[in-house]
Structure 1
Amino acid sequence: MGGLVVVGVDGSASGLAAAEEAAREARWRGAALRMVHAFVWSRMRVPLGPSSYGPPEGGLRNLADRLVAEAVERAVATAPEVEVGSVVVPGEPLTVLEAESRGAELVVVGSRGMGGFVGLMVGSTAVHLAAHGRCPVLVVREGSRPGGPVVVGVDGSPAGEAAVDFAFAEAALCGDGVLALHAWTPWNAPLPPPQDPSMPYANPPGAVSEAEERLLAEALAGRRETYPDVPVEHRLVRGDTRKALIEASRSARILVVGARGRGGFRGLLLGSVSQAMLHHAHCPVAVVRGGGGV
């Protein structure tokens, strides 16, 4: 048995979808699966057991156990060969799952939990965990699970490099191909060094596009040798990064992005592109911080 995949469960539809996706990830990785429910009520000094006026199976603690049991049932049905454990941990979800991420190779959560506001595409726990988790975080919505390649956003940043590593390892595990997408505009692409030093702002036509093509090629360098059986498609898009990745996610099995890309402000743990993907992508989204692996 390999490493550990952790999934946060709360009884929501997206939480149950996360349990199924986590079971698949654990099967591909040869990892154990750990179901974690953050039990906030133990900190609020409210009765946890059944009421003397109600059935013995009532009460908040029994409800938590039932939520976990349903998630375990879903996971076992999805991947019967995976070793599944479960735990109810006192505390707030973000704190509990951040601590769990320290010993995991992947944490999986639903996009919006039981307490989410109607209309929000992704909840605060998913966003904050993507920023603060100590390993890659996979955010899953309920609904159909599309097939297709592993799409990865490439931008040349340290987190982008880690996202590329994760994407290729993920594709190799589950037998998918990789679509490596790099989007640029003249406003966000750094100018290449001028060919004539006496004219610092002069570049021949197409120089910026060629520089962006090199960035994409260099970001993928060596991956074909490491993962010779993974089909790879390069896609260079002149346009908005968010729109390009959202469109590509329509036919993807999973979308992988770095937590904070090229041009991100120092101190921000989660960039605008990764946040946009969490809210608007059409498939599960994996957020990888710089230096994180699969």
Structure 2
Amino acid sequence: MDTSGAPIVVGYDGSPDAGLALEWAEATSSTTGAPLRVVVVGTAMDPVVGHFREHEDELVAAWSARATVHLRRSGHANAEVEVRRGPVVPVLRAVSHGAAALVVGSRGHGLAVGSLTGSVTQHVARHASCPVVVVRPSHQPDARRIVVGIDGSGGGEAALRFACDRGSRTGEEVLAVHAYRAPAIPAGRAVLTGAMSPGPGPHTRDLASREAADRLLAAATAGVRTEMPDLELTELAVPAPADRLLVDLSAASSLVVVGSRGRDAFADLLLGSVAQRVLQAAHCPVAVVR
């Protein structure tokens, strides 16, 4: 995570998950030294519906006051708290420009049109111009392991860099994971001939796939190993669906990091299917990096 003056921005709507997002951002700010900025989003409404606008103004004022009190109690009294008006996704997309990370809860309370719902976090992860961290309760709160998905893509490379930079600052272990496809076992003609089919057997093909996965991981991590020799970085190649593997590993992790698009994503997709499924099902916070 770049800390050269870029702020950590939190989208806050007063919900319990937004509170978790604020706590995660505070801890990260304390560790990295990055400035902290809290944005409360209120909808831009027509004055004709003044009674509803008045109700929402009360909510926004309460959220802003709650965030300010929380920041003061946690030693971040100098953090910026601001209210912005407009549709929540475009507003958060705008404040993501130049940010070190945009941090949001996995879902909001839904009391106002601009609140952070689960679908909104998916849209924010698709469109923000910086890494997006979606914070949810951790299955194992004392976990000290960051899991990052590696697939040989540019997104995977950026995710690894994000994970290792964070691990080097927090002292957490980084587990670089590559999920690969196990080779299918074709039906041979040995059934008819009583002889082995020509070509490599299933064990040879499986070994070749595993060796290729190990080479991909070694190549991906070589640079960060040189740059961060003190980082505890391990590698794991598993023949399994990537989303299922990452979700399973998230249960004993502090953070899962994925690229916004994998190697197999279509060029016009803003968020790959693996990232979407991990966002929906992980048991700890998830960072989506582009």
Asked whether the two chains share a fold, i.e. TM above 0.5, the reply is yes
Q: Please name the residue that 2:87 is paired with.
A: 92
* Residues 114-157 of structure 1: per-residue CA shift (max 9 Å, x gap): 229xxxxx711111111111000000114663422111001110
1:70 aligns with 2:71: no
* SS at structure 2 position matched to 1:222: helix
* SS at structure 2 position matched to 1:212: helix
Cα gap change, 1:49 to 1:127, in 2 (>3 Å): closer
Q: Please name the residue that 2:229 is paired with.
A: 228
Asked whether the 8 Å contact 1:168–1:223 carries over to 2, the reply is yes
Q: Please name the residue that 1:2 is paired with.
A: 5
CA distance in 2, matches of 1:269, 1:99: 17
CA distance in 2, matches of 1:277, 1:181: 14
Asked whether the 8 Å contact 1:6–1:35 carries over to 2, the reply is yes
Q: Please name the residue that 2:28 is paired with.
A: 25
Code of the residue aligned with 2:281 in structure 1: it is: H
Q: Please name the residue that 2:191 is paired with.
A: none
CA distance in 2, matches of 1:3, 1:234: 30
Code of the residue aligned with 1:100 in structure 2: it is: V
Q: Please name the residue that 1:256 is paired with.
A: 257
What's the offset of the Cα at 1:66? 1.2
Q: Find the partner of 1:123 among 93, 109, 118.
A: 118
CA distance in 1, matches of 2:52, 2:20: 28
What's the offset of the Cα at 1:230? 1.1
CA distance in 2, matches of 1:20, 1:151: 20
Code of the residue aligned with 2:63 in structure 1: it is: L
* SS at structure 2 position matched to 1:47: helix
Which protein is bigger by CA-based radius of gyration?
2
Q: Please name the residue that 1:173 is paired with.
A: 169
What's the offset of the Cα at 1:72? 2.9
Matches within 5 A, 1:154-233: 154-186=150-182, 205=205, 206-233=207-234
Cα gap change, 1:65 to 1:139, in 2 (>3 Å): same
Cα gap change, 1:268 to 1:214, in 2 (>3 Å): same
Q: Count matched residues.
A: 264
Code of the residue aligned with 1:248 in structure 2: it is: L
Q: More helix per residue: 1 or 2?
A: 2
Code of the residue aligned with 2:166 in structure 1: it is: E
Between 1:177-186 and 1:276-285, the stretch displaced more is: 177-186
TM-score normalized with structure 2 length: 0.84
Q: Report the identity percentage.
A: 39
Q: Please name the residue that 2:189 is paired with.
A: none
Q: Please name the residue that 2:42 is paired with.
A: 39
Structure 2: tracts of 5 or more residues without a match: 112-116, 185-198
What's the offset of the Cα at 1:168? 0.4
Asked whether the 8 Å contact 1:23–1:82 carries over to 2, the reply is no
Q: Please name the residue that 1:247 is paired with.
A: 248
Asked whether the 8 Å contact 1:148–1:252 carries over to 2, the reply is yes
CA distance in 1, matches of 2:51, 2:183: 56
CA distance in 1, matches of 2:244, 2:180: 11
Code of the residue aligned with 1:13 in structure 2: it is: P
Asked whether the 8 Å contact 1:181–1:234 carries over to 2, the reply is yes
Code of the residue aligned with 2:66 in structure 1: it is: E
* SS at structure 2 position matched to 1:46: helix
What's the offset of the Cα at 1:83? 3.1
Q: Please name the residue that 2:145 is paired with.
A: 149
What's the offset of the Cα at 1:283? 0.5
CA distance in 2, matches of 1:216, 1:262: 14
Asked whether the 8 Å contact 1:42–1:48 carries over to 2, the reply is no
CA distance in 2, matches of 1:50, 1:271: 37
Q: Please name the residue that 1:195 is paired with.
A: none
What's the offset of the Cα at 1:73? 2.5
CA distance in 1, matches of 2:238, 2:108: 34
